[in-house]
Amino acid sequence: MAYEQEISLTEVKENGKEFIADYPEGKNILRATDGKKNYEQIAKELELSKTYVSTVLNAAKKCHLANRITPGIFKKKSGVMSHIPEGKNKEKSVSSINKIIKRAKRKPKITRLNDKPFSNRPLINIEKMTLGYQNLFIVENTLRELIRKVFGKDVSNWWEEKVNDGIIKDVKEAIEKYPYHGYKREDELEYTHLGQLKEIITAKRNWNVFLPYLDEKDKASFSATIDKAIPSRNSIGHCIPLKNEDLKYVEMRFQDILRMIKLH
């Protein structure tokens, strides 16, 4: 069968293996990628996060397994499905904290600017800061997915009941003051940061519900572990270069948070 791509069959197979290793639900998502439905429709159909589906489809494009027809709409390439292995059981794949940590340690590829802006300082710090952001992204989104798993994917059903008034107010103000005109954020949780996610989980009315999903059963220790990472989170979030002393511990702090979560 002819392939609508400029890469060999061997590369298709290798790309398919790598794709499914990173995204266990990838094959199911590609099956639904017909060039007509957008990523939001596919996410709803498969009961998956819209953010996750969008990420998977963009990865499929990079792996030459799908083409982007228009923004948000993709179509799988002819014949590739038979060369993509089935993903492992989603529950088991998500439960491996060590696998998540290993992925977070991958050194990101940096595209350097030809013209240096004012000084060398941004370029000197970029690789370390990018690695820090990579860890932060995994931790914050893991906590968001944990909260959705415990309370339900439709955040509007429980947001006002499970979240304290201070966070509700802050998120409402963020939505009003800083509307995002690109990708529409999935829900209120996507406006929260590390400290607020911790507060939702450790709230007196919520803590016991989260215990079955945590390896750290002591609320004070759980909170303290996250609190240690918050200064690093703030520096990364505001693009402020981390100090050398902090850089030595930032990766460890984020990984300590992941190790407290069972993610089964």
Confidence category of residue 13, pLDDT binned at 50, 70, 90 = confident
Q: In 10 A of CB 75, how many CB atoms?
A: 17
In a domain, 4, yes or no: no
The stretch 119-135 carries a mean pLDDT of 66
**Distance (Å, whole) CA 72 – CA 74:** 7
Among residues 88, 119, 141, the one where a domain terminates is 88
The stretch 180-202 carries a mean pLDDT of 83
Q: Which residue has the tokens 């800061």?
A: 129
pLDDT at 72 over 70: yes
Residues 105 and 186 in one domain: yes
pLDDT digits (tens, 9 = 90+) for 193-233: 999 999 999 999 999 999 999 999 999 999 999 998 888 88
Residues 95 and 170 in one domain: yes
Radius of gyration, CA atoms only, the chain: 20
Structural domain boundaries, residue 18: 9-88
In a domain, 231, yes or no: yes
Residues 106 and 43 in one domain: no
Q: What are phi and psi of 214, to 5 degrees?
A: -120, 145
CATH for 31: 1.10.10
Query: The pTM is what?
Result: 0.56
**Distance (Å, whole) CA 48 – CA 260:** 24
**Distance (Å, whole) CA 229 – CA 124:** 23
In a domain, 46, yes or no: yes
Residues 247 and 148 in one domain: yes
pLDDT digits (tens, 9 = 90+) for 76-105: 998 888 888 876 544 444 445 555 666 655
Partners of 31 in beta bridges: none
What is the pLDDT, as a whole number, of residue 43? 86
Residues 25 and 142 in one domain: no
Burial 173-186 (b: 16+ CB within 10 A, else e): ebeeeeeeeeeeeb
**Distance (Å, whole) CA 225 – CA 219:** 10
Residues 145 and 218 in one domain: yes
> Reduced to 3 states, what is the DSSP secondary structure of residue 34?
strand
What is the pLDDT, as a whole number, of residue 110? 52
Among residues 88, 110, 134, the one where a domain terminates is 88
Q: What angle do CA 72, 73, 75 make, to 5 degrees?
A: 145
Q: What are phi and psi of 65, to 5 degrees?
A: -105, -15
Count of residues for the chain? 264
